[in-house]
Amino acid sequence: MSYELIALLMFASMMLMLMTGQRVFGAIGAVAVIAALSLWGDGGVELAFASAMKLMKWYPLLTLPLFIYMGYMLSESGIADDLYRMFHVWSGGLRGGLAVGTIGLMVVISAMNGLSVAGMAIGASIALPELLRRGYDKIMVTGVIQAGSSLGILVPPSVVLVLYGMIARQPVGQLWLAGVFPGLMMAGLFVLYVLIRCRLQPSLAPILSDEDRALPMREKLRLLRAGVVPLLIFFSMTGLFLMGVTSLVESSAVGALAATLAALLKRRLSAQVLEETLRKTLAISCMFMWIILAALCFGAVFDGLGAVRAIEGFFVGKLGLGPWEILILMQLSFLLMGTFLDDTAMLVIVAPLYVPLVGLLGFDLIWYGILYTITSQIAYMTPPFGYNLFLMRAMAPPEVSLRDIYVSIIPFVGVMLLALGLVMVFPQIALWLPNHVYGK
Amino acid sequence: MPKVVQGYVRWVDAVNRRVGRCAMYLVFVMMAILFYSTISKQFTLPALWTLDMAQFVMVAYYLLGGGYSMQLGGHVRMDLLYGGWSDRRKAWFDAFTVLLLIFYLGVLLYGGVSSSVYALETGERSFSAWRPYMAPIKVIATFGIFMMLLQAVAEFFRDIARLRGEELA
């Protein structure tokens, strides 16, 4: 059997195993070790455990449990309540203003945390009930929260960019800076979409009653203070890291500590909150880590098969395509696989295959990291498999049905594809800031 | 189900719960180590041991916590088809596919044992500047994988029980 055929067979079996609904890490790991044993016999038996040791050496992964902890702590700490009130009062006068305010809230939260978990938890528990109570359309609101929280992995700090940085051997600092403008641009496009949509269909978003908005100016200005704590957290984490004071993993620990302190100062740090936060952090961290563990093993088998060379040969040799055509084809295949396969596993298995090829074609790997992250964002939201969908189902109030969740993302995926296209055509959107700061 | 099986499932659940609940607090240990390294390097030379130690704690965290998070239902499944099935059909599929999961964990355990034995016999050290011994973390990791394996077997018994119309506590 040729190696290409084995690789394809492995992919197909993984797909099949995932379809049976077994735990994702088990499905991937089982296919990996069975392939390793049948290819190399006794020589393949150590491969599974070796990936556990390899995972340990990927020290930037330390940021993952710490960011997850921080996300839950932020959503419990009550910082978000004040922030929500601030956006609520300041943008409530616009038609669709509360949805716009929610996007603003999501951007601020994204700047404090590197995953979409925090935005999701805060959006579903604070913004969603408020917006529904005020008669906003539930499908639009659900979409806003899912799309908005996905900014968590594009706006620095970002765990996906950390993982990408490890795989592509690119500096995380530059990758994070490269995410700033694409993230803000995407948020801007979401806002634009919401405003236009609400202008065309005013029934989706009733304007707030006057009593809701009638606050003296002094009161309004006082609410702006809610923005101070997030700013401090952002500075203590991303700021200190970019200034070179703290290393990457240290900055995530500082952030986690800052979130705990914020909760303490707000007198929200009860034993029960702590218990909930720690338990959820353990469950989510273990889920991600075991998936990465299994996917590393799967990737190692692929590596042994020489899959990188095979893919290169396929795109460049057999299809005879130019660099741009290959890039677009790769993004499309990513999008397609991202909808069906587990998104973290995809990153660990497929990125090592594609990244060398991207470099070979002469593209900038920092820029590709951003394209990659936007693609992951879309993958996070698209059914049947996506973490945001998974979290939304767990957190949404009962009146939001599964169908609502699926339908709600359609327009936002469109907006994200537009953003992806823009960053592809104008690489400067991503590259200007890191080049400016690091003076390339 | 036989008394032995019931006892086994109850025992594994209890042990993993306890192990996992201890592992849960390791987040604080990671935070403390990294925070110490942030502060200390402002005043003195950066400590050599912090990064290695934080890595060890991370590995212990997710390997020891694996079994408990399985109890909590934390390990995500692709529920495109699975989500719509009846409980009985879910149990049917799980009873078969969990065997593959057990096989994977078995291979992991085999590798863990042989790697730990090697580390113990040769006094293997890490390649970092601090050069810590590798044996302790490898033994902890292997223990974590072993507990995960026991939990997966318990899940298998649970599925079988469900197919026979019983529910194991």
User: Is A211 a residue whose pLDDT tops 70?
Assistant: no
Q: Which of residues 51-80 of B touch A (CB under 8 A)?
A: 51, 54-56, 58-59, 61-63, 65-66, 68-70, 72-80
Please report residues of B whose CB lies closer than 8 A to that of A53.
115, 138
- CB neighbours of residue B42 within 10 Å: 9
Looking at every residue in chain B, the average pLDDT score rounds to 92
Give the residue, A43 or B13, on which the prediction is more confident: B13
pLDDT tens digits along B65-102? 999 999 998 888 877 788 789 999 999 999 999 999 99
Q: Which range is least confidently modeled, A94-108, A209-223, A291-305, B38-52?
A: A209-223
Distance, CA of A326 to CA of A323 (rounded, Å): 5
- Residue B111 and residue A384: Cβ atoms within 8 Å? no
Q: State the Cα–Cα distance between residues A239 and A225, nearest whole angstrom.
A: 20
Beta bridge mates, A23: B77
Please give the average per-residue pLDDT across A30-41, as a whole number.
Answer: 93
State which residue of chain B sits closest to A34, comparing Cα positions. Answer: B104
Whether B169 and chain A come into contact, CB under 8 Å, resolves to: no
Closest Cα partner for A3 from A356, A302, A345?
A302
Q: What's residue A27's pLDDT? A: 93
| Element (DSSP H or E) covering residue A260 | helix A248-265
Question: What is the value of pTM for the model shown?
Answer: 0.91
Q: What pLDDT, on the 0 to 100 scale, is given for residue A318? A: 74
Q: What is the mean pLDDT of residues A346-361?
A: 88
Residue A84, token pair as written in the block: 């929500």
Band of residue A382 on the pLDDT scale cut at 50, 70, 90? confident
Confidence class of residue A369 from pLDDT cuts 50, 70 and 90?
Answer: very high
> Token pair for residue A396?
């949404």
Share of residues in chain A with pLDDT > 70 (%): 98
CA separation, residue A102 to residues A15, A84, B166 (Å): 36, 7, 47
Residues contacting A239, CB < 8 A, separation 6+: none
Locate the chain B residue with the closest alpha carbon to A59.
B55
**Inter-chain contact B27–A56, Cβ cutoff 8 Å?**
no
CB contact under 8 A, A45 and B110: yes
In single-letter form, the type of residue at position A349 comes to I
Stronger pLDDT, A74 or A393, i.e. the higher one: A74
Q: How confident is the model at residue A93 (pLDDT cuts 50, 70, 90)?
A: confident
Q: Which residues of A fall within a CB distance of 8 Å from B39?
A: none
> Greater confidence, B62 or A406?
B62
pLDDT at A92: 73
Helices and strands (DSSP H and E) totals, chain B: 6, 0
Contact partners, residue B118, CB within 8 Å, separation at least 6? B124
A383-417 residue pLDDT tens: 777 777 777 877 778 888 888 888 899 999 999 99
Q: Do B79 and A49 touch (CB under 8 A)?
A: no
Q: Is A286 on the interface with B (CB under 8 A)?
A: yes
Instruction: Concatenate the DSSP letters of all residues of B102-138 into one string.
Output: HHHHHHHHHHHHHHHHHHHHHT-B-SSSS--BSHHHH
- Cβ atoms of B151 and B141 closer than 8 Å: no
- Please give the pLDDT value at position A22: 92
pLDDT of residue A289: 93
- Specify the length of chain B in residues: 169
Put simply, the chain A residues between 318 and 347 with a CB less than 8 A from any chain B CB are 342
Contact check, Cβ <8 Å, A282/B68: yes
Q: Which two tokens stand for residue A390?
A: 């998974």
What does the pLDDT read at residue A204? 84
Residue contact B112–A52, C-beta within 8 A: yes
Any idea what DSSP says for residue A23?
B
* Distance of alpha carbon B136 from alpha carbon A336, whole angstroms: 43
Residue A127 near residue A102, CB atoms below 8 Å: yes
Structure tokens at A10: 């492995």
The reported pLDDT for the residue numbered A274 is 93
One-character DSSP codes across A390-437: HHHHHHS-TTS-HHHHHHHTHHHHHHHHHHHHHHHH-THHHHHHHHHH
The pLDDT-based confidence of A209 (bands split at 50, 70, 90) is low
Percent of chain A scoring above 90 in pLDDT: 38
Contact B157, B72 (CB under 8 A): no
**H or E stretch at B5:** helix B3-23
Q: Given CB atoms, is A46 within the 8 Å cutoff of chain B?
A: yes
Q: Which residue of B has its CA nearest to A284?
A: B74
Q: For residue A3, is pLDDT > 90? A: no
Q: Tell me the mean pLDDT in the region A223-241.
A: 86
8 Å CB contact between A157 and A237 = yes
Quick one: pLDDT at residue B169?
67
- Which band of pLDDT confidence, cut at 50, 70 and 90, is reported for residue A344? confident
Count Cβ neighbours within 10 Å for each residue of A217-249 and write b for 16 or more, e otherwise. eeeeeebeebeebbeebbebbbebbbeeebbbb
Residue A213 scores a pLDDT above 70: no
pLDDT band (50, 70, 90) for residue B44: confident
CB contact under 8 A, A390 and B100: no
Which tens digits make up the pLDDT trace of B15-34? Answer: 999 999 999 999 999 999 99
Q: A440 pLDDT exceeds 60? A: no
Q: What is the mean pLDDT of residues A154-158?
A: 90
Residues from chain B that touch A287, judged by Cβ atoms under 8 A, are 69, 74-76
- Distance from the Cα of B160 to chain A's closest Cα (Å) equals 15
Q: Please, what is the Cα angle at A167 between A164 and A173, to 5 degrees?
A: 50
Measured distance CA(A58)–CA(A48) in Å, rounded: 16
Measured between CB atoms, which of A29, A62, A279 is closest to B58?
A: A62
Contact state of A249 with B82 under an 8 Å Cβ cutoff: no
What's the whole-number mean pLDDT along residues A347-359?
88
User: Pick from A299, A83, A105, A97: which is nearest to A202 by CA?
Assistant: A97
- Whether A56 and chain B come into contact, CB under 8 Å, resolves to yes
- What 3-state class would DSSP assign to B77? strand
